[in-house]
Structure 1
Amino acid sequence: MEYKDTLLMPKTEFPMRGNLPNREPELQTKWEEMNIYEKVQERTKGRPLFILHDGPPYANGDIHMGHALNKVLKDFIVRYKSMSGFNAPYVPGWDTHGLPIETALTKSGKVKRKEMSVAAFRKLCEEYALKQIDRQREQFKRIGVRGDWENPYITLDKSYEAQQIKVFGEMAKKGFIYKGKKPVYWSPSSESALAEAEIEYQDKRSPSIYVAFPVKDGKGVLAGDEQIVIWTTTPWTIPANLGISVHPDLEYSIVKVNDKKLIVASGLLETLVKDLEWDGYEVTGTLKGAQMENIIAKHPIYDRESLVMCGEHVTLDAGTGCVHTAPGHGEDDFIVGQKYGLDVLCPVDDKGVMTEEAPGFEGLFYDEANKPITEKLQEVGALLKLTFMTHSYPHDWRTKKPVIFRATAQWFASIKDFRNELLQAIEEVEWIPTWGETRLHNMVRDRGDWCISRQRAWGVPIPVFYGENNEAIITDETINHISSLFREHGSNIWFEWDTKDLLPEGFKSEYSPNGEFTREMDIMDVWFDSGSSHQAVLVERDELQRPADLYLEGSDQYRGWFNSSLSTGVAVSGKSPYKGILSHGFALDGEGRKMSKSIGNVVVPNDVMKQLGADILRLWVASVDYQADVRVSDKILKQVSEVYRKIRNTFRFLLGNLHDFDPKVNAIKKEDLSELDLYMLVKLNDVVKKAKDSYDLYQFSSVYHAVHNFCTIDLSSFYMDIAKDTLYIDHADSEARRGIQTVMYEILVALTKLVSPILSHTADEVWPFIPGSEGESVQLTDMPEVVNFENVDELKAKWDKFMSVRDEVLKALETARNEKTIGKSLTASVRLYPNEETKQLLDSVGNLHKLLIVSHAEVADDKNNAPANAQEFDQVSIVVEKAEGETCERCWIVTPKVGENKEHPTLCPDCATTVTNHYS
């Protein structure tokens, strides 16, 4: 007889190698064929809704690691919720309007923008956006993200645009929309106004100048021979100067320097003496800023006046305490200028070129005008000092070029009119991490009115008509009509049809007695587009609801989508459109640097999936502390791959040892299981509870560590190692073997479900191999339940204690192995000399040699009587010796009893009995 044929070795067709790049697409094809998204929704129909509302990525180019991080995190949550008692529909979306698509088309060289109509150009933009969506959709699906991919929301959809018009109309109805001329961020490179969310800060080298403005009329407070000193880093705004601002409560000094009398803030005098290199000076008098109000200075270049005004915005942080004020080029300047009745002078055009309102400098690009303006100030004796400084300066986040403040006629959403409601709504939202609340609160608290108009072609038009007197017309009738037209025809008609055809039939207005109307040609800020999604998606679609339970995006969206959604949501409904905000950090390289093509440190999701597979990418997302910035590199992904291999091997081992197990036939009742088997179910219970609690808290790295530790420590290094002898050597239906299989089955089912949100492909690959598994996919099941056990604390305490003793024995065996006393552990015999508490434990566990995987184990005496050659540990002293006897041919145990059975002389008694009774 070949004794090896009597061993019940593992058998499974579940492959050892994941081969994920090839196997995952096969699984995804299967998901599509079975309509997995629809089946999940059908199964969970009627359960409480959980809505994670997708913040729309921009439809341009391949997805990057930030996209992958974001979408995978969302997929974890949606998959978990659908397995945890919720109906969790997931509708992905795309942001499709805006400058990048316009730029991509014009830069291609195939589109001659100036030779076509706006409507024709917009159609090309739409075609381009839809192609980008198809491209990105396939990449998101390749990552394994489950959603309603056939019915996403797209900001260029007719229904979406129709709802966006409704949002605008409701805000206008409540008085939150107005048109005004005021300074806004203006991008000469984009030739358009920008919102705060479209600004990023980069270092810029700028001239730093001190300029003296002669006093023309001292109003009886000054003698008239003084000069007020200002400081600026934007010499190009000097032609726009109409005033000087001082703080009413600050003290100012009249400083005699050579033959000049200069006025500066007393608090900055010491610094200015150094900066302006005054060898000698004398303070001849002081006065409060309030005393200088309405004093008139003379513009240093032009023959016009510059009014001294009091402004609370003036500080002693830098400069002179006397602030150069150009109402057309700064928000504070504009506000104080309005208070004092100044004009809004803006001698710079859309392209950033100086106009005729800046005599002597017209035709110059604003940045190029710095030098001639400074030279002119030098020529007239007004320039006190010129240096250069590098400072943080606002840039257009699309073109990466500097922006300016420039007063133009724009449409605004008046944040100040409902700021308190916004701040109240923020308090009612759950913020993860908690600092998000403070961050958005401060942004809203300090935010100016939102400039929502853009001077571009590709976007949703601002639905405003003008009468013959140029008064804006926004009524319920016009808004409802335009919304209906857009729902039927799309917004392109705004640029195709005549104005009269866009108005309601028979529309009349007191603003246009002759029935002549024009329309606004500016479009809405793209943040208004995406910020309207709570109405255009959550309210529009029957399967969703407002407010959403969760918005999940990168931390940059506090100033972007979180902010714009809150503004439009509170304006329209009086409440936040989201109950919770969860934000994540940015994906950096392995050294913590921003990814850059020029550096060559970019990790591309598509490349990772081709080389390693989507589940490795997903497992990486689960492994990181995503609420901070995260690192990813080939080395990091290799480490994650090793963890994946261990988890996969665990699945394979469990499947292999269940090849002859039918849970309906062979399962052992819980009350009949051994203590060790029960202990492992308790340990599994702990993992289930830890994982589910962590999923609920969106702490995916805790799930990752709980599963990984359970697989490597509790299973691989302990239970599976101990169980091998029983599984392989006992006869098929032995109660001990079936007991272990029962536990392994429970572990396998629970682990497959627990990792399904993270390792979505692997879990679905495992599922059909599980004996008795029901349903086409693990996705169509619920998470395992936490089970109640009797005397669980005593059981855990006992076997946790045994585990610690076992660790000491393993150390002793390793030492003996290194000293060549033994080879494998089954060649060893151990004598244990425990302390009293440990002795009671060891006496109670039974089958000690099997638990320690040695051929012989005995509790010899107490610790105090251990021989000199014993290895000393905290709980037990241990003597390791080579086991006496022969090696059993079947189970490899070493015992003197080999050969007692004459029919099977090479077997130990236990193996001889098993073979005789079950294989003869």
Structure 2
Amino acid sequence: MSDTTPKRDYRDTVFLPKTDFPMKAGLPQKEPGILERWQSADLYQQVRKARAGREKFILHDGPPYANGDMHIGHALNHVLKDMVVRTQTLLGKDSPYVPGWDCHGLPIEWKVEEKYRKKKLNKDEVPAEEFRAECREYAQHWVDVQREQLKRLGTLADWDNPYLTMQFESEAGIVTELLKFAQSGQIYRGAKPVMWSPVEKTALAEAEVEYEDIVSTQIDVAFEIVESPIKELVGAHAVIWTTTPWTIPVNQALAYGPEVEYGLFGYRPHVQASSESDDLQQGLDAIQNLLGDLTFVAATALAESHLERVAYQLSTRQQTLGNSVRISLEPVLLRPFKGADLAGTICRHPMHHLGGFYAEPRPMLPGDFVTTDSGTGLVHMAPDHGEDDFDLCKAHGINPVFAVQGDGKYREDWLWLGGQGSVINPKFNAPDGPICTDLKEAGALLSASADYPHSYPHSWRSKAKVIFRCTPQWFVPMDKPVAPFDFEVAPLGAIGGAVALATHAGKTATLRETAMKAIAATRFVPEKGRNRISSMVEGRPDWVLSRQRAWGVPITLFVNRKTGEYLCDPQVNARIIEAVRAKGVDAWSDEAAQALLGNEYDVDDYERITDILDVWFDSGCTHAFVLESARWPDLQSPADLYLEGSDQHRGWFQSSLLESCATRGRAPYKAVLTHGFTMDAKGEKMSKSKGNTISPLDTMRDYGADIIRLWALSVDFTEDHRIGPEILKGVADQYRKLRNTFRYLLGALADYDAQAEALPVDQMPELERYMLSLLGDLDATMRKAVDDFDFNTYVRTLVDFCNEDLSAFYFDIRKDSLYCDGAGDLRRRAARTVFDTLFHALVRYAAPVLVFTSEEVWGTRFPDADSVHLLEWPEVPAASADHRRWDDLRALRERVTEAIEPFRREKTIRSGLEAEVSVPASAVPAGFTESDLAELFITGAVTRGDGDVVAVSKSGDAKCGRCWRLLPEVTEDGDLCQRCEDVVTELDASA
């Protein structure tokens, strides 16, 4: 060949990948179109038909609240739920998913009330039905908004037929469950202290309360002892300490610890002053004015700290003393005694001079709950405002007085501070507020300072402080023995159904015992969830069912005005249920009362209860009116899984558990999965005021839904986890690597004909058998991750396989064969067979995660095929390989790559194909030839050396003009190696 003859360009003879699948995703623009195709094709129902008759897996959707846009917590929660449903469907199971919404309750009512407040109108002046209609309209608006937002996430669900707690059928179901409680005697009316929101004017459940750090006023108050078996105590003062001054006007007793060591104390003053005259005298006068000849009773271990508070109070009274005066008080023990010796001791209230309620004696009572952790070792008792107070006083015949009204003010007729409040106002409780001022004038306030930091309950809706307030409420007892029973709805003439109760012989059990047994039988992911809900159920008080609001399911009970017993008549219950099914909650009205009671009862003899149910009871009944409903025949009970945030151990998980245990004797779920909360990138709680929120709507607009999904399934969601702009960029980069893996496979398989090309495993080269073995390991890991709901491992394993085993290893090695071997070459055929196997496996593994991208990938290769989401788990061919041997080989490959890198940086060698490498013979696993090593390391040549070092030199061989390999057989740059010569000859002949 003449030197002047130009070399042939062989690019058109190389089998380069070909695909229309773009490298740039464009998800925000592309995903809505895919979503529209799914909706028009009714993909959800296609999946139902495809899985009909298969083993079921039921994830029951915990209802989000219908009162705002989807936030990042919603997004995470629903991606996880969708992942569960899709992976179970992928495994071949029938896993229908019915979404739902919680539509009753205070948050919605509060928002509707805001409209009235802005217009300076009183919602109580609006007809109840009209107000409830506004609440219903408000909830429906947000259901519709959230539904579209959740659809946009790619969640596959029965969106056209969701359940809403405000659907008439649902409300009838809730009433049915309530009447089961009533009929089995698992509901009672009683006056007990409950969490009460003076702002919202209603009782709250523990699940509706959150704890915030506040600073309160702490006071020491002296109660004069007027009678005692210990004669020396008469005339002394029992001292109590409290951080709720507003409860002193409702005090009725004092409590002591029977085993606590107490003492009668005097005090010894110490005054430090800058001068011996006026300053010193001022200090002494202050002590005399406040304490005089005071002797007091306190726990021995706390007398000193009590006097420190009193001394601090004296030392900081700037209006009396100068800054130079410092007072300390030393306790002087006059007589020690045990708490039990205080039995029979009587005190009088500091405001006894007002007469009436305050003139009554205040007994000292034994309380096992009294400790010496803080205070004085004596606790003042207000049975209206504390569980321990209520129980102790009730045991001694002392009843609540209901002095504090629903708005937090004292009753108008209350002797002290009547009509004043609100009691949660810090100014009302302050050292200069009316309570402390009056106690000071009565000579009973020994110390008062607004400096006590502690945790305090707040309503999670209004964010206002709550109080314990004794009011008549409806309760479910946790510790009342109930015999095992079954309920059913039996036909009753023209009326739709009556609640029938069948009681079976058997050992009785309390609701607490049944619930604890059900918890033990339930699977928890993570396992620590079991301990969390167990401790809550084990120690929880009776369930407060009633709320004093308007928007909710009513407590549909009639109470006999003479006996106080609620009516439990199956015929009446049946009429109530059917009325609610026909008209919703508006069916429970004064106008309908007589018709509901029927001819057997006179409406004048019965009180119609107007309280509504705790909204947690509503959602706790969803297993009954959704999973057991003919409206959703694909569902079944109990559910295989409940999945919500970890806060639901005290919310939906618990209310569902208690409701089901009370009516069915078992949990409504077989397993419970909980996730943590989403924090910002710094690990701080998100809040609008901080400006650190991440909107899933904005993220979908900027990145696409698949990026949110990949993020949600990549984090360890069982713990609190993070999101932020940089984190999302990292997730987007991870997504690009996965996308490029699919792009490469699509390009490599552009004209693949399985019937003509596919090779059986036993005819494949060892590298292909090794890759199929790795795929088998991947498959096992992915299956286990699905079984464990370990989606972090699922995604991480998939990404690592694509990046490390495919892109950085297998694809890199087999590029040469794919591009340059002949079309019928066995090595190339084997590689493409494995590529096809990888494609079918990976697109299925990715489908539950990247729901839009996997559909795009599948449709690119098979444009006329059904959706990728109708496919089932891949069948991976069995292949074996010596993984340890290959691990050693890959480790040596890494050493070779690292040894070549400095030559690349210096541009001495532009490609590994230009390198001749000597590797330690001892590091080469058995069975690999030098030719194999050169192929696997993608180098020009490999030799074995005696040392331990990888040596690199530049090859002196000429480069093939087609495959670019430097080989001894190539005589001149641009000429062809023998392989390429044969391929080109074949291609030219067929042209």
TM-score normalised by structure 1 residue count: 0.94
SS at match of 2:688: coil
Q: Give the Cα–Cα distance (whole angstroms) in 1 for the partners of residues 982 and 695 of structure 2.
A: 60
Aligned partner of 1:891 in structure 2 is 963
SS at match of 2:190: strand
Aligned partner of 2:780 in structure 1 is 689
Q: Aligned ranges for residues 575-590 of structure 1 at < 5 Å?
A: 575-590=666-681
State whether structure 2 residue 470 is matched by structure 1 residue 379: no
Amino acid at match of 1:139: Q
Deviates more, 1:724-733 or 1:263-272: 263-272
Aligned partner of 1:605 in structure 2 is 696
Q: Aligned ranges for residues 162-177 of structure 1 at < 5 Å?
A: 162-177=172-187
Q: Give the Cα–Cα distance (whole angstroms) in 2 for the partners of residues 71 and 400 of structure 1.
A: 26
Q: Give the Cα–Cα distance (whole angstroms) in 2 for the partners of residues 592 and 338 of structure 1.
A: 47
Amino acid at match of 2:309: D
Q: Deviations over 1:605-642 (max 9, x none)?
A: 00000000000000001110101101000100000000
Amino acid at match of 2:412: E
State whether structure 2 residue 235 is matched by structure 1 residue 225: yes
Deviates more, 1:347-356 or 1:112-121: 112-121
How far off is 1:694 after superposition? 1.0
Q: Give the Cα–Cα distance (whole angstroms) in 2 for the partners of residues 608 and 401 of structure 1.
A: 33
Aligned partner of 1:869 in structure 2 is none
Q: Deviations over 1:682-733 (max 9, x none)?
A: 1111111111211211111111111111111111111111111111112222
How far off is 1:199 after superposition? 0.8
When residues 548 and 819 of structure 1 are mapped into structure 2, their CA distance, relative to the original with a 3 A threshold, is same
State whether structure 2 residue 867 is matched by structure 1 residue 777: yes
Q: CA RMSD in A?
A: 1.9
Equivalent of 2:899 in 812, 825, 828 = 812
State whether structure 2 residue 981 is matched by structure 1 residue 912: yes
Aligned partner of 1:152 in structure 2 is 162
Paired-residue identity, %? 41
Aligned partner of 1:485 in structure 2 is 579
Give the conservation status (yes or no) of the 8 Å contact 1:4–1:890.
Answer: yes
SS at match of 1:210: strand
Q: Give the Cα–Cα distance (whole angstroms) in 1 for the partners of residues 380 and 17 of structure 2.
A: 83
Q: Deviations over 1:554-573 (max 9, x none)?
A: 01111111111111110010
How far off is 1:806 after superposition? 1.3
How far off is 1:842 after superposition? 3.1
Aligned partner of 1:342 in structure 2 is 398
Q: Give the Cα–Cα distance (whole angstroms) in 1 for the partners of residues 704 and 710 of structure 2.
A: 10
Aligned partner of 2:282 in structure 1 is none
Deviates more, 1:660-669 or 1:21-30: 660-669
Q: Aligned ranges for residues 770-849 of structure 1 at < 5 Å?
A: 770=861, 775-789=865-879, 792-794=880-882, 796-835=883-922, 838=924, 840-843=926-929, 846-849=931-934
Give the conservation status (yes or no) of the 8 Å contact 1:206–1:390.
Answer: yes
Aligned partner of 2:343 in structure 1 is 293
Give the conservation status (yes or no) of the 8 Å contact 2:249–2:416.
Answer: no
When residues 10 and 382 of structure 1 are mapped into structure 2, their CA distance, relative to the original with a 3 A threshold, is same
Aligned partner of 2:456 in structure 1 is 393
SS at match of 2:330: coil
SS at match of 1:806: helix
Give the conservation status (yes or no) of the 8 Å contact 2:254–2:378.
Answer: yes
Q: Aligned ranges for residues 254-273 of structure 1 at < 5 Å?
A: 254-257=264-267, 259-273=293-307
SS at match of 2:924: helix
SS at match of 1:401: coil
Aligned partner of 2:194 in structure 1 is 184
How far off is 1:333 after superposition? 0.6
Equivalent of 1:322 in 348, 361, 378 = 378
Aligned partner of 1:136 in structure 2 is 146
Give the conservation status (yes or no) of the 8 Å contact 1:798–1:841.
Answer: no
Q: Deviations over 1:811-861 (max 9, x none)?
A: 1211332344322122222233412x6274432x74432222223x1424x
Q: Give the Cα–Cα distance (whole angstroms) in 2 for the partners of residues 524 and 775 of structure 1.
A: 51
Amino acid at match of 1:906: D
SS at match of 2:928: helix
Give the conservation status (yes or no) of the 8 Å contact 1:272–1:320.
Answer: yes
Aligned partner of 1:867 in structure 2 is none
The aligned length equals 893
Q: Give the Cα–Cα distance (whole angstroms) in 1 for the partners of residues 546 and 821 of structure 2.
A: 78
Aligned partner of 2:519 in structure 1 is 426
Amino acid at match of 2:943: V
Aligned partner of 2:656 in structure 1 is 565
Deviates more, 1:289-298 or 1:656-665: 289-298
How far off is 1:665 after superposition? 2.6
Deviates more, 1:881-890 or 1:54-63: 881-890
Amino acid at match of 1:587: T
Equivalent of 1:736 in 821, 827, 836 = 827
Amino acid at match of 1:287: F
Unaligned runs of 5+ in 1: 865-871
TM-score normalised by structure 2 residue count: 0.87
Q: Give the Cα–Cα distance (whole angstroms) in 1 for the partners of residues 926 and 368 of structure 2.
A: 80
Q: Give the Cα–Cα distance (whole angstroms) in 1 for the partners of residues 41 and 335 of structure 2.
A: 87
State whether structure 2 residue 45 is matched by structure 1 residue 19: no
SS at match of 1:649: helix
Give the conservation status (yes or no) of the 8 Å contact 1:415–1:567.
Answer: no
Q: Give the Cα–Cα distance (whole angstroms) in 2 for the partners of residues 907 and 496 of structure 1.
A: 98
How far off is 1:477 after superposition? 2.8
Aligned partner of 2:477 in structure 1 is 414
Aligned partner of 1:359 in structure 2 is 415
Aligned partner of 1:98 in structure 2 is 105
Amino acid at match of 2:912: S
Amino acid at match of 1:410: Q
SS at match of 2:585: coil
State whether structure 2 residue 608 is matched by structure 1 residue 519: yes
Give the conservation status (yes or no) of the 8 Å contact 1:169–1:475.
Answer: no
Equivalent of 2:719 in 628, 632, 637 = 628
SS at match of 2:854: helix
Equivalent of 1:456 in 518, 531, 549 = 549
Aligned partner of 1:122 in structure 2 is 132
Equivalent of 2:308 in 260, 271, 274 = 274
Aligned partner of 2:946 in structure 1 is 863
Amino acid at match of 2:343: E
Give the conservation status (yes or no) of the 8 Å contact 1:92–1:148.
Answer: yes
Q: Give the Cα–Cα distance (whole angstroms) in 2 for the partners of residues 916 and 280 of structure 1.
A: 110
Give the conservation status (yes or no) of the 8 Å contact 1:499–1:518.
Answer: no
Give the conservation status (yes or no) of the 8 Å contact 2:559–2:567.
Answer: yes
Amino acid at match of 1:274: E
Aligned partner of 2:535 in structure 1 is 442
